Amino acid sequence: MTDVKPVLRLEGIVKTFPGVRALDGLSFDVLPGEVHALMGENGAGKSTSMKVLGGIYQPDEGAIIMGDEQVVMNGPLEAKAKGIVFIHQELSLAEELSVAENIYLGELPRKSFGRVDWALLYERTDAILKKLKVGFNARTRVGDLSIANQQMVEIARALTVDAKAVIFDEPTASLTDAEKVVLFDVIADLQAEGVGIIYISHRMEEIFKITDRITVLRDGQYVGTVETKNTDEERVTQMMIGRKLDLSRNVSHHELGNVALEVRGLSCGKLYSDVSFEVRRGEVLGFYGLVGAGRTEIAETLFGLREPSAGQILLDGEEVRISSPADAIARGISLVPEDRKGQGLVLGMNCRDNMTLPQVDDLKAGPFMAEGAEVAIFDQYRDKLDIRTPGWKQRVGNLSGGNQQKIVIGKWLSMHPNVLIVDEPTRGIDVGSKSEIHKLLRGLAAQGYAVIVISSEMPEVLHVSDRIVAMYSGRVMRTFTSEEVTEDNLIQAISGLTDDRAA
Ligand SMILES: Nc1ncnc2c1ncn2[C@@H]1O[C@H](COP(=O)(O)OP(=O)(O)OP(=O)(O)O)[C@@H](O)[C@H]1O
Ligand SMILES: [Mg+2]
C-alpha cells in the first residue's frame, strides 16, 4: 500500500469552539479504494474533522492536501466540486420536497429558458434508486419516508457526484440489516472505482467487516492509525478510551420486587398481537427482534401513544388505561424514544432546559428556586452519565451525537419513573459510554426500578437483561431467562423458527 498516492491527507488540523478544543492536531490520509474508519468516543472530534474536510468549518490550523496541492474548502459546494462527498450523521433533507429534488438540489437539470426538465430529473433519479434497491421512487415526498429511507436518499445524493472521497458519518445507525447489505454493496462499488471512503461508526462488527485501516481519536487528539487485519476490538477499544472494558454478561445480584407492569394478551391491529409479559421491580427485561417485529409499537402503547385493540395493562396489579403520554408519565412510565431528533430533543434549546423540559411546571413552583433546581438536576445527570459539554448553556444541537442521546436519557431518568422503557438506548453511542449506560440501567434496576430495554444489538440485550422477550412479526416467540438464553436460540426465536418449548 505504501507507494500508492493518497486521495487526500489531513495535516495537523486544529479546530476550536468557545470552551472546546474539538481537534488538536489531527493528521491522517485516505488511500484510493480503501475504507478508512474513524473511531473515537462521543465528542472525540470525528464529525468535526469531517466538517473541516467538507468545507463546513474552516480549520484554525493545519492543511488539507489533495494530490500534491494544499486545498482550501471555502464551503460545502467547493468541497463537493473537489470530489468530497459527505453523508451526514444528522440528516439534512428538505422534507417538503420530492426525493428527486433533494438529490439534485441546486443542480436540477434544465431545458432551454431555464425550465426544470422534470422528465429527465425523475429518470436520472429512478436510475440511482434502482441501484439502491429502495422501495420508493423519485416523486415520493421526503417527509413521508422513514428515517432509514431518508438515509438512503442522502446516499443516493452522494452517487450523483464524481467523487474522490466519500464520507459516511454513522450511516447505519438507523438502517435495517437488509439496507445495510445494500449500503455495503454501494461502498464496495465505490471502492472498486478507486474512491477513498471515510467511515465513521461505533459498531465494531461493521468496522472489522468492511474497513482496511482504522484511525482513532481521543479528546480531539490523534491516537494512531492501524491496519484492521492486524488489530482487534479489544485493542481498538483501548486506543479509544485508554482502558479495558468489562464486556461480560450480566449477573443479577439483587432481589426482585413485586410485578410493576404486566401486559396480558395485548394487541394493536396488525402491528402486534396477543403479547403478554411482566416486569418486576429490580429487573431489566430485554426485547429483542428484527426491525418491524413490533417492539417499538408495544412501547408506544405503554406510553399512551397508541391505543391497543385488545388486552390489558396492569400497573402494580391494577388494570389501567393509558390514553396519553401525560397519563403515562403521571403513572410513572417513561419512554426514551428511538428517534432522539424527532421525539426527544429541541436542538435549539440549551442542555439544561432540554433535560428538565418534562418537569418545567413542577419546578416553576417557586420562581427563585426554579433556576437553581434545574441546574442542580442537570449537574446531577451530567455527572451520572458523563455528558461532555462546556456547560449547561450549550445548545444541544452543538453536542456530539452520543452526548445528545445522553441528554435524552437524563431527561427521563430525572423524572424518577417506576417503569423506564428505553428504545435503542445506545444507538450512536461509543463503546465506553455504552458500557456506562448499561451499568446505569443495571443500577436503576438494582434501585428498584422496572426497566424495559428494546435493542437490535444482541450483545446489548444479552449484557443488560435478566430476561429476554424474543419477538417475531408482532408476536412473542419465547421469553428467555439469562441462564437459558444463547445466541443460537435467540436468533432462532427472532427468525420465527420456534422449537418445542416455544411460548
Ligand atoms: N458547532 C459547535 N459549537 C460548539 N461545540 C461544538 C460544535 N461542534 C462540535 N462541538 C464540540 O466539539 C467536540 C467534538 O464533537 P464531534 O461532533 O466532532 O464529536 P464526534 O466524535 O463526532 O462524536 P459522536 O460519536 O458523539 O458523534 C464536542 O465536544 C462537541 O460538543
Ligand atoms: Mg459525530
Nearest ligand to the CA of 240 is 1
Is the pLDDT at 361 greater than 80, yes or no?
Answer: no
389 grid coordinates: 459539554
Q: Which domains, and CATH codes, for the chain?
A: 8-241 (3.40.50.300), 259-502 (3.40.50.300)
Q: Pairing between strand 213-218 and 221-227?
A: antiparallel
Residue reference for cell 444463547: 486
Higher pLDDT, 443 or 148: 443
**Closest ligand 1 atom to the C-alpha of 40?**
21
Three-class secondary structure of residue 91 per DSSP: coil
Lowest mean pLDDT among 104-108, 147-151, 380-384, 389-393: 147-151
pLDDT above 70: percentage of residues in the chain: 92
**Closest ligand 1 atom to the C-alpha of 220?**
14
Name the nearest CA neighbour of 246 among 441, 435, 460: 435
Residues forming beta bridges with residue 227, ordered by sequence position: 213
Residue reference for cell 389501567: 320
Is the pLDDT at 204 greater than 60, yes or no?
Answer: yes
Residue reference for cell 498516492: 5
Nearest ligand to the CA of 221 is 1
Residue reference for cell 467538507: 54
Name the nearest CA neighbour of 156 among 232, 212, 105, 217: 105
Confidence of residue 253 (pLDDT cuts 50, 70, 90): low
* E strand residue ranges, 389-449: 419-423
Taking residues 284-307, what's their average pLDDT?
Answer: 92
Confidence of residue 350 (pLDDT cuts 50, 70, 90): very high
22 CA distance to ligand 2 centroid (A)? Answer: 11
- Which pLDDT score, from 0 to 100, does residue 4 have? 85
92 grid coordinates: 439534512
From 400, 403, 408, the mutation candidate for ligand 1 (largest count of ligand atoms within 8 A of CB) is 400
Are 44 and 26 within 8 A, CB to CB?
Answer: no
Is the pLDDT at 481 greater than 70, yes or no?
Answer: yes
Report the b/e string of 167-199 with b at 16+ CB within 10 A.
bbbbbbbbbeeebbebbbebbeebbeeebbbbb
Q: Pairing between strand 284-289 and 450-455?
A: parallel
Is the pLDDT at 453 greater than 70, yes or no?
Answer: yes
173 grid coordinates: 445507525
42 CA distance to ligand 1 centroid (A)? Answer: 8
445 grid coordinates: 434496576
Is the pLDDT at 501 greater than 50, yes or no?
Answer: no
- Which pLDDT score, from 0 to 100, does residue 317 have? 94
Q: What is the mean pLDDT of the chain?
A: 87
Where does residue 253 rank: exposed (0-12), middle (13-18), buried (19+ CB within 10 A)? exposed
From 399, 407, 409, 437, the mutation candidate for ligand 1 (largest count of ligand atoms within 8 A of CB) is 399
Are 480 and 490 within 8 A, CB to CB?
Answer: yes
Consecutive H or E run containing 181: helix 177-192
From 13, 41, 47, the mutation candidate for ligand 1 (largest count of ligand atoms within 8 A of CB) is 47
Taking residues 87-99, what's their average pLDDT?
Answer: 83
**Closest ligand 1 atom to the C-alpha of 50?**
18
Task: Express each pLDDT in 49-60 by its tens digit.
Answer: 999 999 999 999
Alpha carbons 81 and 79: distance in angstroms, whole number: 5
Name the nearest CA neighbour of 400 among 233, 180, 169, 61: 169
409 CA distance to ligand 1 centroid (A)? Answer: 19
234 CA distance to ligand 2 centroid (A)? Answer: 22
Name the nearest CA neighbour of 284 among 132, 421, 114, 471: 421
Residue nearest to atom 25 of ligand 1 (CA): 42
Phi-psi sector, 274: left (phi>0), alpha (psi -120 to 50), beta: left
- Which pLDDT score, from 0 to 100, does residue 364 have? 55
Alpha carbons 345 and 340: distance in angstroms, whole number: 6
Taking residues 4-26, what's their average pLDDT?
Answer: 92
Nearest ligand to the CA of 217 is 1
353 CA distance to ligand 1 centroid (A)? Answer: 19
Higher pLDDT, 41 or 302: 302
Taking residues 129-144, what's their average pLDDT?
Answer: 90
From 398, 406, 431, 433, the mutation candidate for ligand 1 (largest count of ligand atoms within 8 A of CB) is 398
Rg over alpha carbons for the chain, rounded to the nearest Å, is 24
CA distances from 341 to 89, 176, 199, 256, 347 (A): 11, 18, 22, 35, 8
**Which residues does a 6 A CB cutoff place in the pocket of ligand 1?**
17, 20, 22, 40, 42-48, 89, 388, 398-403, 430
Lowest mean pLDDT among 87-91, 107-111, 244-248, 484-488: 244-248
Alpha carbons 464 and 435: distance in angstroms, whole number: 10
Consecutive H or E run containing 5: none
Are 312 and 319 within 8 A, CB to CB?
Answer: yes
- Between helices 177-192 and 118-132, what is the axis angle to 10°? 100
**Does the pTM exceed 0.75?**
no
360 CA distance to ligand 1 centroid (A)? Answer: 27
Lowest mean pLDDT among 113-117, 296-300, 335-339, 446-450: 335-339
Name the nearest CA neighbour of 235 among 258, 255, 207, 259: 207
